[in-house]
Amino acid sequence: MPVLFDGGLVFGESGQLLPDHGVMVDGDRIAALAPSAEFVGHAGPRVDTSGGTLLPGLIDCHVHLVYGGEPDPSSTIGQLSDGQITMKALQRAQASLAGGITAVRDCGGKDYLEFAVRDAINSGQQLGPTIRAVGRMICMTGGHGNRIGRVADGIDEVIKAVREQIHAGADQIKIMATGGVMTPGVNPEDAHYTAEEIGAGIAEGLRFNKKSASHAQGSEGILNAVRGGIASIEHGIFMTDECIEEMLAAGTYLVPTLAAVGNIMNHADQGVPDYVIEKAGRVLEIHKESVRRFYQAGGLIAMGTDAGTPFNFHGANALELGYMVDIGISPSDAMVVATRNAADLLSLDDCGAIAAGKQADLLLVDGNPSERIAQVAEAANHRLVMKAGQIVYDRQNGRGDTVSIVAPDSRFASAASAGF
What does each of the 420 residues of the chain score in pLDDT, given as a tens digit? 899 999 999 999 888 999 999 999 999 999 999 999 999 989 999 999 999 999 999 999 999 999 999 999 999 999 999 999 999 999 999 999 999 999 999 999 999 999 999 999 999 999 999 999 999 999 999 999 999 999 999 999 999 999 999 999 999 999 999 999 999 999 999 999 999 999 999 999 999 999 999 999 999 999 999 999 999 999 999 999 999 999 999 999 999 999 999 999 999 999 999 999 999 999 999 999 999 999 999 999 999 999 999 999 999 999 999 999 999 999 999 999 999 999 999 999 999 999 999 999 999 999 999 999 999 999 999 999 999 999 999 987 754 433 333 333 333 333 333 222
Asked whether residue 271 falls in the same domain as residue 232, the answer is yes
Asked whether residue 315 falls in the same domain as residue 363, the answer is no
Residue 235, CA distances (Å) to 213, 303, 305 in order? 11, 11, 9
**The pLDDT value given to residue 221:** 98
- Gap between the Cα atoms of 151 and 162, Å rounded: 11
**The pLDDT value given to residue 398:** 59
Question: What's phi and psi for 145, nearest 5 deg?
Answer: 90, 10
Asked whether residue 367 falls in the same domain as residue 274, the answer is no
Residue 172, CA distances (Å) to 21, 129, 228 in order? 37, 17, 16
CA dihedral 378, 116, 126, 82 (to 10 degrees): -80
What CATH number did the domain enclosing 327 receive?
A: 3.20.20.140
Q: Among 304, 328, 345, identify where a domain stops.
A: 345
Model confidence, pTM: 0.94
Q: Among 345, 373, 399, identify where a domain stops.
A: 345
What CATH number did the domain enclosing 408 receive?
A: 2.30.40.10
What is the domain extent for residue 16? Answer: 3-57+350-417
Asked whether residue 256 falls in the same domain as residue 244, the answer is yes
**The pLDDT value given to residue 412:** 33
Asked whether residue 226 falls in the same domain as residue 309, the answer is yes
Asked whether residue 63 falls in the same domain as residue 201, the answer is yes
Number of structural domains (the chain) is 2
Q: Among 310, 329, 345, identify where a domain stops.
A: 345
**The pLDDT value given to residue 14:** 86
Asked whether residue 310 falls in the same domain as residue 396, the answer is no
Asked whether residue 66 falls in the same domain as residue 18, the answer is no
